[in-house]
Structure formats: C-alpha cells, structure tokens
Amino acid sequence: MEIHNKNRPLKFGVAAFLTFATLLIILIVYIIGSNQRVFDSKYPLYMFLPNVQGLESGAFVTLSGLKVGVVGDLSFSRQDEEQGILIELKINRKYAPMITTSSRATIKTMGILGDKYVDITLGDLDDPKLQGGDYLTSITPLDADALLNMASNTMAGLQGTLDNINQITHAALSGEGMLGLLVQDNTARQNLVASLGNLKRITDRVVAGRGSVGQFLSDTTMYSSLNQTVGSLASITGKIERGEGSMGKLVNDASLYDRFSRIATRTDSLLAKLNSQDGSAGKLINDKELYDQLVNLSKSLNELTTDFKANPKKYVSFSFF
C-alpha cells in the first residue's frame, strides 16, 4: 500500500510532462503550419476581392517575393455596393516603411500543387506608408477557369486557321485559283517573274530620276514649280472667298447673282417665244411657208432691181411739150 502511494506522485509527474509535451508539440506544429513568428510585432492590412481563388488563412504573404507575414481571417463583406471577401494580412511591422499607398497586392500560385499566397509590390518610399487597418490596392487575379476558356477559344481559332491553311494548300496543289495556277503552270510563273522584273526596272528608273515620275521625285525645280502653282491657286481661291475680282463678286455678291439669274430667266423666256409661233420672230423662225415666201420675195426684188438697172426706160418714161 505504501509502495502504491509512493508511485502516485511519479505517475502524476509523468502524466503532467506528457501533457505539457503534447501541448508544446501542438503549438509548434500550429506555428509552423500557420507560417507565423510568434514573437514578431505585426500590424494588419486588408484586401477586398470578389474571389480569393482558394486562398486560405495561414498562407504566407510576401513583399516582392520576401516573406513578410501571413494571411489572417477571411470573411464575406460588402464594399461600395459590391459583395466580396475581406482578407486580413498580418504583416511584420519592420517592413511597414516599404508598403505605401503605391503598393499593389495580388494572389499568386506557388508550385505545381497550386498553393495560393499573397504578394505585395514595393511602394514608392516618397508616398505615405500604409497604417494598420488600411486597405491595399488589390489586383484581381486571373481565374483558372477563365484561362482555360481563353485557351479553349484560342485552340478553336487556331484549329480553324489550320483548316483554312489546309484548304488553301489543297487548292494550290490541285491547281485551283491563282495560287494553284502559279504552283502548277510554268507559264504563269514565268509571266509573274517577268512582271516583277519589269516593275523592278521601272522603280530603278524612278529612283535614278529618269522619266516624268523620276524627274518629279528627283528634280527640286519641278517640285518648286508645283509648289508655286499650288500657292497661286490658294491665292486665287482666297481672293474669290474674299469677294475680290469679277469671279469673287460673282461668287459672293448675292445681288449680282440675282441679276444673272433674272437675265437667264428672260433669255429662257425669249428663246421659248422664238421656238413657238407666237409673234413675228417666232413665225419667221418656225413657219417654213412664211420663210419660203420671204425668200421668193427677196429673189423677186433682186430680179426687179437688176432689170430696172439694165432697162430703166422700161419702167420710167419722160415726155416734154
């Protein structure tokens, strides 16, 4: 009985030691698993994103790739009438001067397993530094599903392009179309080569300053003459716009235009009357019978005048007492 009582304190001590050791191991595992340094002073910063892409509490936070903290709580929130997730970042306080209002935070993927973490860019040291409780400017990460959809659409477009290339190649090898004609017909190829040769000779002549086009490109005097001509045209059009000269007055003077319009109207009316058989002039122009009578009358008068000159006694007689 005494031996049993003596072993009781020993058993109690062993149990207490094992309990303490177990708690210590659990604490160590928690600290290691949560990527936290217990004795470092930390301050909170926040991110707000519509989707955290699988980011979990305890994931580490980096500043330009250097570990500076861990992800704290994640909770649903609402800001500016938008729903999303509020992300707490526990940052080592000694890095606070390098995280400023120009810093940007984004969720990135590490390794093949796709573990998520938060990376913060270095801010401009001249900008105000973020204080505890401030919000980092967050960059929404690309969704993996969106990337897969983009890749799928790209592959579909690429497949369509390859199909088109295959059709073009098949048509060319079959001698269809212009490309097929060039591939299969030696004469067509020779004609194309000859055309390209002629085009090269023409461009060589132009570059050398030969011919009208070559002189225009190479001769500065021709350019000067053309420039002067353009300047003269600009001066003439300027005078016309300012109402100078006859043309300018004709273009800009409304009263002169009205007078011309009235003259044109009267001329049209006169021509219309001449075309009709109203009036003597109209009948003279349009009545063939009257015209013929006038011609015959004129002819008769001419004959009478001629005969009168030849035989005046026939028409005039004198008698004296």
pLDDT digits (tens, 9 = 90+) for 118-131: 999 999 989 999 99
Q: β-strand 42-49 against 115-120: which pairing, if any? A: unpaired
**N-to-C CA span, the chain:** 216
Region 264-286: mean pLDDT is: 68
Is the distance from CB of 74 to CB of 86 less than 8 angstroms? yes
H or E stretch covering 124:
none
Highest mean pLDDT among 104-108, 256-260, 289-293: 104-108
Among 100, 72, 96, 99, smallest CA distance to 86 is for: 72
Could you report the per-residue pLDDT of 62-81, keeping only the tens digit for each?
999 999 999 999 999 998 88
Beta bridge partners of 84: 77
| pLDDT tens for each residue of 219-248 | 677 677 777 888 888 888 887 777 777 676
Q: What are the strands, taking DSSP E only, across 115-268?
A: 115-120, 137-139
pTM over 0.85: no
Percent of the chain with pLDDT over 90: 24
Q: Return the pLDDT at 321.
A: 46
Residues 6+ apart with CB under 8 A from 263: none
The mean pLDDT value of the chain amounts to 78
252, 238 Cβ separation under 8 angstroms? no
**pLDDT, mean of residues 245-253:** 68
Q: Give yes or no for a contact between 61 and 43, defined as CB atoms under 8 angstroms apart.
A: no
Domain definitions of the chain by residue range: 1-33, 40-144, 166-218, 253-293
Range of 175-179, 189-193, 199-203 with top mean pLDDT: 199-203
- The single residue listed with the structure tokens 């004795």 is 39
pLDDT band at 286 (very low <50, low <70, confident <90, very high): low
Q: Is 3 helix (H, G, I), strand (E, B) or coil?
A: helix
